[in-house]
Structure 1
Amino acid sequence: MNKLALSFAIVASLTTVAAAENRAGTPAVGSPMATVTAEVQKTLGFVPDFVKQLPQALVANWWHGVTTFQMNPTTKLDGKTKELIGLAVAAAAPCEYCIYFHTEAARLNGASEEEIKEAVGMAGLTRAGATILNGLQVDKVQFKKDVQRIVSGARAAKK
């Protein structure tokens, strides 16, 4: 795509997003933002400011992920485990907003302070390991062989 066509595509997409909201910033009726904000209001009792700031093109997919996976109690991972994973990823990223959210959500889902500390500790160890392995450019094939030897030894020790 040439630069002129790309420029027009960008302007057209921005115009479409801008048209979806009126001058007061209220989502247009039937827009993805209006639908999601109504569902968030029903679910949480209010619409957090950060939800209102999500891009129009992302908001429906974001909410779908939150409701069908993160908040879904029928997935294989329970809520506490999901939030501890979210906290670990947030700590490694790092994202202060995500750390705060996932810490509170983990507590809400029954995580103890020690479990929260351990999740962050695992993130730190994993990030350190990644730094070392990638920085040293460890051979991946040999690394996988070594891991399989570790796993085999651990399984044999359980018998």
Structure 2
Amino acid sequence: MPRIKSHIVSLSFVALTAVLPGQSRAQDAAQAAAQAARDEIAATFGAVPTFINQVPDAALPGLWTELKMLEMSDETALDLKTKALISLAVASTIPCDYCIWMDTNTARQAGATDQEIGEAVALAGMTRNWSTIFHGLQVDFATFRKELGGS
């Protein structure tokens, strides 16, 4: 019996050491991609914000690409001001102080007025309020859709 355990331990060690070099290459690739993202962030903002260094290397390149291509790009279906107002409205209902602060500044930089910012936040609050009412009262969705002209 001890011989079988020894054999299993030996096989496990061989399997583990066979995987480790691949993991090391994957970690090296993740670190390189994360550094490339940090370099791009520094070029975009003039510095790398401290919180960026708290993001895991494996996650940073994807998060940066998503932010850059969707939120920061003016080559999407929505203009920058509209995207900032939507993001502010969502952030207000979560709530996320970081996002509210940043999205308010971004919306203002994109030309949003105080009235537009207030309207976006009020709409978010109204939507959340009605959602609470519909769900809390367990309003039948099929009836709701039928009565309001939907199919």
Structure 1 stretches of 4+ moved >4 Å = none
Matches within 5 A, 1:9-158: 31-148=32-149
| Code of the aligned partner of 2:91 | A
- Cα distance, 1:132 vs. partner? 0.4
Q: Are the counterparts in 1 of residues 85 and 107 from structure 2 also a CA contact under 8 Å? A: yes
CA distance in 2, matches of 1:146, 1:81: 31
Map Cα deviations across residues 10-30 of structure 1 (whole Å, 9 max, x no partner): xx9xx97xx76xxxxxxx995
- Partner secondary structure for residue 115 of structure 1: helix
Q: Which runs of 5+ in 1 are unaligned?
A: 1-11, 21-27, 150-159
- Partner secondary structure for residue 57 of structure 1: coil
Q: Which protein, 1 or 2, shows the higher relative CO under an 8 Å CA cutoff with sep ≥ 6?
A: 2
CA distance in 1, matches of 2:146, 2:56: 44
- Let me know the Cα RMSD of the aligned residues: 2.3
Q: Which runs of 5+ in 2 are unaligned?
A: 1-19
Aligned pairs, number: 128
- Return closer, same or farther for 1:139/1:79 CA change in 2, 3 Å cut-off: same
CA distance in 2, matches of 1:72, 1:146: 40
Q: Structure 2 length as normaliser, TM-score?
A: 0.77
- Cα distance, 1:57 vs. partner? 2.1
CA distance in 2, matches of 1:136, 1:29: 48
- Partner secondary structure for residue 148 of structure 2: helix
User: How high is the sequence identity, in percent, across the aligned residues?
Assistant: 41
- Cα distance, 1:55 vs. partner? 2.0
- Which structure's CA Rg is the greater one? 2
- Cα distance, 1:41 vs. partner? 0.8
